[in-house]
Homo-oligomer: A and B are copies of this chain.
């Protein structure tokens, strides 16, 4: 059974479910930073997914990247599957700006994480969920805090 890694759970806010992947917003507010986690057990590399799941992950990644470009109007999208510290397969999507804290380098280990304010977090989740709902996002029941009702 798929079970979200504890560190990913601790470091993110759940946004909802796409067909294959759980969508997570990183708690670090330095950058718009969204993570896809395919709901498949014991996967650490993209190539381990079967052909149908690979295609779904690609589609969801491209959809998410396009939504992030539309919402956040960044200079560049950075996408990565690293997993040296959290082996569970997960794909980072970052909106990057020439004015951000790590530009032009990658974001990892650059500056300390900062929190979203409560208001900014609520707005970001609302807007993101509305945009991804047009691409099939639904609430995730496995992760506390995903549904609107549970947040209130």
The residue among A78, A80, A85, A96 with the most chain B CB atoms within 10 A of its own CB is A80
A70-96: CB near B (< 8 Å → 1, else 0) gives 000001111111111101000000001
Contact residues in B for A78 (Cβ distance below 8 Å):
80-84
Number of copies: 2
- How far, in Å, is A89 (CB) from chain B's closest CB? 11
Q: In the complex, which residues of chain B have a beta carbon less than 8 angstroms from the beta carbon of A80?
A: 78-82, 106
A2 within 8 A of B: no
Q: Does A62 lie within 8 Å of B47, measured CB to CB? A: yes
Asked if A61 is an interface residue, CB under 8 A from chain B, the answer is: yes
| In the complex, residue of chain B having the shortest beta-carbon distance to the beta carbon of A100 | B84
Spell out A's residues near B (CB within 8 Å).
Answer: 44-47, 54-55, 58, 61-63, 65-66, 69, 75-85, 87, 96, 103-106, 108-109
